[in-house]
Amino acid sequence: MSERSSLVITLLKGLLPFLLALFLTMMMQLPIGDGTGNVPVPHLTLMLVYYWSIHRPELLSVPAVAAIGLFQDLLWGGPPGLNMIVLLVARVILSNQQALFVRQSFGVGWAGFVPVVFLAMGLTWLIVCLYYGMLVSMLPLVGHGLVTLAAYPLLGWLFGRFDRFMKPD
């Protein structure tokens, strides 16, 4: 393999978590369920930020997380900066807790995801209430959080596959 193609492959491997996040953000926009919006969608980008912040933080920088959150905010049309703030808070907290989760069993990693989801849903609720100037129901966010927790094993496994693919040869 030539040096140029090796450089391109290395660059693509380095961008893979970011590109995957953009793809997952768009996946979250797909209509599922009965079309009423009553079926909660897992927070795929929160799962991605969690996984990569613990296992390979060098591949998902703070500016990349901010860009992912901003892209998500632009697609969703909710309070501007909401997802950017939630994902950045998760990234910063996880960057300080990485040593607790790295090289642990999957169950420990999944258990560590629980407080991250509760924090993200609580922060989302607080920002939405402040933005709209009224108390809104937490029930949609509870459903969103529970579906996110339930979906993590599958996505965590997929992220692990991508991670193994990206390891240097």
Per-residue model confidence as pLDDT tens digits over 37-72:
667 889 999 999 999 999 888 889 999 999 999 999
Per-residue confidence band for 158, with pLDDT thresholds at 50, 70 and 90:
very high
d(CA 85, CA 87): 6
pLDDT at 155: 94
Domains of the chain and any CATH numbers: 3-166 (1.10.1760)
How many C-beta atoms surround the C-beta of residue 90 within 10 A? Answer: 24
User: What value does the mean pLDDT take over residues 134-149?
Assistant: 94
User: What value does the mean pLDDT take over residues 74-86?
Assistant: 91
Residue 152, both tokens: 């993590």
pLDDT value at 101 more than 90: no
Residue 141, both tokens: 């966010």
Considering 36-45, 90-99, 103-112, 113-122, the range whose residues carry the highest mean pLDDT is 113-122
* Spatial CB neighbours of 91, under 8 Å, sequence gap ≥ 6: 49, 53, 60, 62, 65
Long-range contacts of 36-44 (CB under 8 A, 24+ apart): 40/140, 40/143, 40/144, 40/146, 40/147, 41/144, 41/147, 42/144, 42/147, 42/148, 42/150, 42/151, 42/152, 42/155, 43/117, 43/120, 43/144, 43/145, 43/148, 44/151, 44/155
pLDDT at 25: 94
User: Which of residues 149 and 7 earns the better pLDDT score?
Assistant: 149
Looking up tokens 């999944």 gives: 110
Question: Are the C-beta atoms of residues 144 and 150 closer than 8 Å to each other?
Answer: no
d(CA 157, CA 154): 5
d(CA 10, CA 127): 38
